[in-house]
Amino acid sequence: AQSVSQHNHHVILSEAASLELGCNYSYGGTVNLFWYVQYPGQHLQLLLKYFSGDPLVKGIKGFEAEFIKSKFSFNLRKPSVQWSDTAEYFCAVNAWSNTGKLIFGQGTTLQVKP
Amino acid sequence: DAGVTQSPTHLIKTRGQQVTLRCSPKSGHDTVSWYQQALGQGPQFIFQYYEEEERQRGNFPDRFSGHQFPNYSSELNVNALLLGDSALYLCASSLGTGGYNEQFFGPGTRLTVL
């Protein structure tokens, strides 16, 4: 069965530190890849997405992610985090382009200390 | 422009009861997907509705059923509630069923089964 694995469950960083959150998926075919973010008290919202083309994609708020097909990975990065980046981050995969079914990882809680 | 709305926000039921959760999609969207998010886990796909029909289903028993109305709003019904059904139930809407169509999530309904 298809699955998504996020290696870091809880990450604590100081402001201005660099961030990298790991995401690996298991599926041999073509995939669409997403990172969602959930800020405290808010609903899930899309951070960035990859469908095809340039494997380095940029999203909102300075986030970017790199798709490495050979490693089945889609890691999220930000060069310098802010206190306002404190949130839960979810990696998600869509393995069937004709449907919107998303398979989510279990999430990473990021805490940024001011 | 109203986003995805869900009602109620919280619900407490006892084992064996039945529950109905409601979702209104974002204006202009015609597809609704439902997800279950257990505590500490990522959302899990339940099913997707389009043109008032269930288009795809995740690994959930028949106790979970749904409906989509002509105005695109949707209901999720769960029969014979179990303690394990306690979770946050998320509704997501999109324009079209494909994986390329961004899904917008609602705030969720928190269901507690006692």
Question: Which among A97, A102, A107 has CB closest to B100?
Answer: A97
pLDDT tens digit string along B2-34? 799 999 999 999 999 999 999 999 999 999 999
Question: Which among B33, B90, B107 has CB closest to A100?
Answer: B33
- Sequence-distant (6+) residues with CB within 8 A of A64 are A48, A56, A57, A58, A76, A77, A78
The CATH number of the domain holding residue A81 is 2.60.40.10
Cα distance between residue A10 and residue B90, in whole Å: 23
CB A15 within 8 A of CB A83: yes
Domains within chain B, CATH numbers bracketed? 5-113 (2.60.40.10)
- Is B55 near chain A, with CB under 8 Å? yes
Token pair listed for A77? 């990065």
Q: Domain count of chain A?
A: 1
Whether A84 shows a pLDDT value over 80: the answer reads yes
pLDDT tens digit string along B33-84? 999 999 999 999 999 999 999 999 999 999 999 999 999 999 999 999 999 9
pLDDT tens digit string along A2-58? 899 998 899 999 999 999 999 999 988 888 999 999 999 899 999 999 999 999 999
Using only C-alpha atoms, chain A has a radius of gyration, in whole angstroms, of: 14
Supply the range of the domain harboring residue A48: 3-113
- Is B101 near chain A, with CB under 8 Å? yes
Tell me whether residues B100 and A104 touch, CB distance under 8 A.
Answer: no
